[in-house]
Copies of this chain bind each other. A is one copy, B any other.
Amino acid sequence: MGIYNAYYNYPELEDKCFNTMWIYETPERGNISIIAHSGTVASHAFWFCKNIGVKIGKSLSTGNEENIDMIDFLDYLKDDPETDVIGLYIEEIKRGKEFIDIVKKITPTKPIVAIYAGGTEAASRSIMGHTGAIAGDDKIFETVFNETGIISTDSITEFFYYLRTFSQNIIPNGSRLGIITDSGGCGAMMAKAAEKLGLIVPEFSEELKGKLKQYIPPVANIDNPLDLTFQFNQYNLYVKIPKAMINSGEIDGIIIYAVFGFEEVLNVIKTSGGETYEEFEISNDMMKGLYLKPSQRLVKKKMVPIFYIGPQGYSNPWIREFINSNIPIFDLWDMPVKCFSVLAKYSEYRRKLNPNFKK
């Protein structure tokens, strides 16, 4: 292994590389490929991607496209077995019809997330100076994206979170969201964000409520969002409650707020005289086996994604376990709602094309 930059190496030559960055890094490779009219999109976002666990396999910067363009590379990635998800940063599409044709062939099996940077005055001026491209109207691109099933955003943060979301290969069957929370405030904010994005946060049936009742403390309210209050039955939080929700067939995705790592803080709690619970006396490794393995089996079997929120942040060892295992985790509660909404949107596109998809 020499020096390499994962964004620019050839998977065929695992021990070879060429490094376009001036910093030595060896990020983990994944199933996301990027084609961009700006090299910076992939190269400078390197640290952010490493932090949140966006694992990129191939990155292609097409520059001013004098001889080869985005469509040529889309054609290559279409059949590339190492690419499951494609990210596009677009300043101009020169061959419009060909672009539509090729993405229509890709999106039924591989999700595409795109940023189109043109469409406003200073942005188009900037693009002209950058790649010499003549950027077109935002509305045209919006229509093309919608009709071809491309997920689009203007935000680079969303771009990478959406790519990470699709890289899980868990496409839900609808747009009904179950929210599990230990805080009424966060639950309300997530419910509002979800409904504003067109998602459904359904009330649970009496049957499901009856099942959930055995797992939650008596002071808690059985509703969706399900506010567990600050109770510490971790097995219920990670396994029993999501399982009851998923098996009911009443929801298509779940957000769990919040998960905490105890291993690294247990001594501090004890030393400082804080109250501990028996369940705190558990290593991250044991938590992984007891809590994450069974719930991830269920996620994959039923294709119902679970998004976790870990407020201790991305540098926390327990949170890193999620990232290392490709389990979607977030530090705050805005982004998981948005990520589920793009999954639901993409799922709707797939089901419209093929009504038998996931029946």
Contact = CB atoms under 8 A, between A and B. Distances in A.
Interface of A: 3, 19, 22-24, 36-41, 44-48, 51, 89, 91, 115, 117-123, 125-127, 129-131, 154-158, 182-189, 191-196, 201, 203, 221, 223-225, 227, 258, 265, 268-269, 271-276, 311-313, 315-316, 331-335
Given A126-B191, A185-B36, A332 B156 contact: yes
Given A122-B224, A154-B196, A156-B332, 11 more contacts: A19-B274, A22-B265, A23-B269, A24-B271, A39-B185, A40-B185, A47-B312, A48-B332, A122-B225, A130-B185, A156-B186
A129 B221 contact: yes
A265 B22 CA distance: 9
A311 B22 CA distance: 14
A31 to B, nearest CB: 22
Given A48-B313, A154-B196, A269-B22, A184 B38 contact: yes
B38 A183 contact: yes
B125 A223 contact: yes
A120 B203 contact: no
Contacts of A189: 115, 117, 123, 154, 156
Nearest to A277: B22
Contact of A126 (B115, B157, B188, B315): B188
Contacts of A89: 185
A22 B155 contact: no
B184 A126 contact: yes
Number of copies: 2
A192 B47 contact: no
Given A130-B187, A189-B117, A269-B23, A44 B311 contact: yes
B24 A269 contact: yes
Contacts of A269: 22-24
A158 B37 CA distance: 28
A155 B190 CA distance: 9
Contacts of A24: 265, 268-269, 271-272, 274
